[in-house]
Amino acid sequence: MAIPGHVDLNDLVVFAAVVETGGFSKAALRLGVAPAKVSLEVARLEARLGTALLTRTTRRVVPTVAGQALHEECAPLLRQLRSAVDEVHAAAATLTGSLRVTAPTDFGAHFVAPALARFAALHPALAIELQTGDRIADLVGEGIDIAIRMGWLRDSTLRAVKLADFGQYAVAAPSYLARAGTPRTPQELAALDWIALTRLPAPLKWTFAGPGGASETVQMRARIRTDSAGALRALVLDGAGVSILDEYSVRRDLASGALVRLLPGWTLPSGGTFAVFPPGRHVSRRVRAFAEHFQAWLAAGAP
């Protein structure tokens, strides 16, 4: 498809992807094409415009002054074009293309994956990729369409939608409580063997809200530390000590009796489950559809 000046619209799409991801390989990953094709189309665009649009540094590809100006003008138009195409197809039941999702390892395996399986069955023409890991993924650089994140979002620049709230529970295995005793107040937790999740900003300091508006802040001493939520749950299940886990992780363990919720009359601050979208990119209909599907899945108890 050509536009005035004999510039190919596809070349502009590729150029915008390079600017937004900071590299030819990352742009190729986002677009699902070979890096050589990305280089070829950018070179063709530069030749047709008669000016250099990109400069390679040791770590990134950055736009020239002319390239930055072109991107600032074209990016909003390309997003509007994608939106217009999505709206034209809005009445169609079929979702096509690809959907790349990232989620925390354990939550992704136990909750996001089953929801994606149901979503895939509803939309058989859609190609889906799920990446799991406890690190924070680079949504733009890795070509991620939607990230499912848990906790509290600190980056105010992120485009995010809260899908659900979740509770946090102090828990222990019956075998550990048989040895150490069951705490009756938050302060008694400090004397127990604490297992800390080091990825949290303050894994050893917790504030409990109690009856009648009471509030108690407890400073723990960690006997064991781990950076993995899955490892934390396994340690607690094996009777290594006490910790705090989200309600998603322990729902089945509490129902089966494998874990015991401590201090049920006291509550901890709730966290949020969020759908996070790459900055500056149009949210496609398939991405919105999955976010809505997953929100409904959580609301139904994630069967």
Tokens (6 digits) for 168: 């946090």
pLDDT tens digits along 107-129: 999 899 999 999 999 999 999 99
Judged against a pLDDT cut of 60, whether residue 90 lies above it is answered with: no
Helices (H), 23-64: 24-31, 35-49
What distance in Å separates the CA atoms of residue 235 and residue 298, rounded to the nearest whole number?
26
Q: How many CA atoms lie within 13 A of 23 on its CB side?
A: 11
Percentage of the chain exceeding pLDDT 70: 91
pLDDT tens digits along 49-70: 989 999 887 678 889 999 999 9
Judged against a pLDDT cut of 50, whether residue 143 lies above it is answered with: yes
What distance in Å separates the CA atoms of residue 118 and residue 272, rounded to the nearest whole number?
23
Confidence label for 5 from pLDDT (cuts 50, 70 and 90):
low
Question: 2-88 has which fold?
Answer: Arc Repressor Mutant, subunit A (1.10.10)
Average pLDDT over residues 172-184: 97
In the chain, the amino acid numbered 4 is: P
Q: What is the pTM of this model?
A: 0.66
Confidence label for 4 from pLDDT (cuts 50, 70 and 90):
very low
Confidence label for 84 from pLDDT (cuts 50, 70 and 90):
low
Which of 112-126, 131-145, 280-294 is least confident? 131-145
Query: Residue 34 in 3-state DSSP?
Result: coil
- What is the chain's alpha carbon radius of gyration, rounded to the nearest angstrom? 24
pLDDT at 65: 92
pLDDT at 256: 96
Judged against a pLDDT cut of 60, whether residue 157 lies above it is answered with: no
Which of 19-28, 145-154, 218-227, 229-238 is least confident? 145-154
What distance in Å separates the CA atoms of residue 182 and residue 295, rounded to the nearest whole number?
36
What distance in Å separates the CA atoms of residue 15 and residue 116, rounded to the nearest whole number?
31
Domain boundaries, the chain: 2-88, 97-166+272-299, 168-269
State phi, psi for 197 to the nearest 5 degrees: -95, 105
Average pLDDT over residues 213-241: 94
CATH architecture, domain defined by 168-269: 3-Layer(aba) Sandwich (3.40)
CB–CB of 139/96 below 8 Å?
A: no
Average pLDDT over residues 212-231: 92
In the chain, the amino acid numbered 82 is: R
Which of 91-100, 237-246, 289-298 is least confident? 91-100
168-269 has the same fold as 97-166+272-299? yes
More confident residue, 118 or 88: 118
pLDDT at 2: 41
Judged against a pLDDT cut of 70, whether residue 281 lies above it is answered with: no
CB–CB of 54/67 below 8 Å?
A: yes
Residues near 65 by beta carbon (within 8 Å), at least 6 away in sequence: none
DSSP class of 69: H
More confident residue, 241 or 78: 241
Question: 97-166+272-299 has which fold?
Answer: D-Maltodextrin-Binding Protein; domain 2 (3.40.190)
Average pLDDT over residues 14-26: 89
